[in-house]
């Protein structure tokens, strides 16, 4: 079981930042574009399959926010760059 509280949904950049920061603070951070089922969790408690499914959903929520970087929004907020500022 993870230490990070997994929200049901992420709907704002602030919510995304809060979630990614909490993952980092609990040593459960990983590359936001990776599938949680493929992450090497040897340095922390491995999430359950249900938690991995929810992590994937939450990362999808983050990447579907309109303010997030994309080829059509090159000046948008980048979750990966944000994670790098935390570690």
**For residue 48, what is the DSSP state?**
P
Q: Is the pLDDT of residue 1 over 90?
A: no
> Buried b vs exposed e over 32-44: b needs ≥16 C-beta within 10 Å?
beeebeebeeeeb
Answer whether 28's CB lies under 8 Å from 2's CB: yes
Amino acid 63: pLDDT? 96
Amino acid 60: pLDDT? 98
Structural domain spans, the chain: 1-69
Amino acid 43: pLDDT? 85
Q: What is the pLDDT of residues 16-61, one digit of tens each?
A: 999 999 999 999 999 999 999 999 998 888 999 999 999 999 999 9
Angle, in degrees to the nearest 10, between helices 49-63 and 79-86: 120
In the chain, count of helices (H) and strands (E)? 3, 0
């Amino acid at each position: 079981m993870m230490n990070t509280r997994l929200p049901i949904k992420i709907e704002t950049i602030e919510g995304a930042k809060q979630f990614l920061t909490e993952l980092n603070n609990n040593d459960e951070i990983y590359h936001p574009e990776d599938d949680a089922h493929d992450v090497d969790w040897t340095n922390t408690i491995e999430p359950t399959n249900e938690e991995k499914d929810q992590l994937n959903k939450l990362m999808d929520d983050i990447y579907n926010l309109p303010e997030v970087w994309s080829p059509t929004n090159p000046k948008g907020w980048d979750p990966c760059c944000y994670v790098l500022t935390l570690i």
